[in-house]
Structure 1
């Protein structure tokens, strides 16, 4: 059992919190109440950023003290949305939200993952007809191994999880979000993951 704080209680955060609790972890969800995020982060071993990516950097940088020596699992994508509310461009072109977070939080071990799929797949990868991929980006190998174990507890098979290397590799997976609106317009809001065929 791991003590986990989920920052963000929308569809992504709520789904992750429910699935992680079901997997036997001790989960706290931080709502928008003053001080809730700080308290949740302070008492957790792993903190999951499921806040809207456009505001994540400011929100988490304010928690620098509470996030010291923690693993921060970043599942968000920082985008500029188009008129239809779907991602139209990247907020940090030439970089990534994960890199920005790692720079702002040097005493926190940031790991990027689960950001290349629609949210139902995050907690139920077996719902897809083909094996999906989840990617890990981060500078700390031990933190990535811990996150890999967390994904396995959510139903991800180890061979579906690919370590892409350092935190800089997150800019590649974050850029993949630009596929999403086109796939949704073409096929509807059907669960999918951006995976590598082998």
Structure 2
């Protein structure tokens, strides 16, 4: 059992929290307010960023003390939305939210994952017609192993999880968000994920 704090109580945070609790973990859900998030992070071993990516950097940089030595799982993408509310561009050109978080939180182990899919797939990958991929980006191997084990608890098979390397690789997976609005306009909101055919 792992003590997990999910920061963000929307669709993403709610579904992750429920699935991890069903898997036997001790889960606390915090909204985006600084005090609530700080209280949750202080007692957790793993903290999940399930907040809108555009505001994540400021929100988590303010929790530097509470996140010291913790694993921060970043499932968000920092984007600029278009007129229809769908992602139109990346916020951190030449970088990524994952990299920005790691730079702001040098004593925290940031691991980027689950950001290349619509949110229902995060907790139900086996419902897709073909095997999806979940990618890991981060500097600390033990932190990535911890996150890998949590992904397995969420229903991800080991062979569906790919370690891409350091946190710099997060800029590649975050760029995949730019596929999303085009796929949605073409096919609707049916769940999908980026998958590497082998």
Q: TM-score, normalised by structure 2?
A: 0.99
Preserved contact between residue 53 and residue 77 of structure 2 (Cα < 8 Å): yes
- CA 1:42–1:151 in structure 2 vs 1: closer, same or farther (change >3 Å)? same
Q: Which aligned runs of 4 or more in structure 1 are off by greater than 4 angstroms?
A: none
Q: Secondary structure of the residue that 1:93 maps to in structure 2?
A: coil
> Structure 1 residue 33: deviation in Å?
4.7
Partner of 2:98: 98
> Structure 1 residue 32: deviation in Å?
3.9
1:66-77, aligned counterparts within 5 Å? 66-77=66-77
The question of 1:152 aligning with 2:152 is answered yes
User: Structure 1 unaligned runs (5+)?
Assistant: none
1:120-131, aligned counterparts within 5 Å? 120-131=120-131
After superposition, the C-alpha distances for 1:16-65 in whole angstroms (9 at most, x for unaligned) are 00100011100000024551100000000000000000000000000000
Deviates more, 1:51-60 or 1:23-32: 23-32
The question of 1:89 aligning with 2:95 is answered no
CA distance in 1, matches of 2:47, 2:88: 28
After superposition, the C-alpha distances for 1:78-108 in whole angstroms (9 at most, x for unaligned) are 0000000000000001100000000000000
Q: Secondary structure of the residue that 1:116 maps to in structure 2?
A: coil
Partner of 2:173: 173
Aligned length: 198
- CA 1:162–1:34 in structure 2 vs 1: closer, same or farther (change >3 Å)? closer
CA distance in 2, matches of 1:66, 1:37: 9
Partner of 2:39: 39
Partner of 1:17: 17
- CA 1:107–1:88 in structure 2 vs 1: closer, same or farther (change >3 Å)? same
Preserved contact between residue 2 and residue 45 of structure 2 (Cα < 8 Å): yes
Preserved contact between residue 32 and residue 51 of structure 2 (Cα < 8 Å): no
Q: Secondary structure of the residue that 1:107 maps to in structure 2?
A: coil
CA distance in 2, matches of 1:29, 1:189: 26
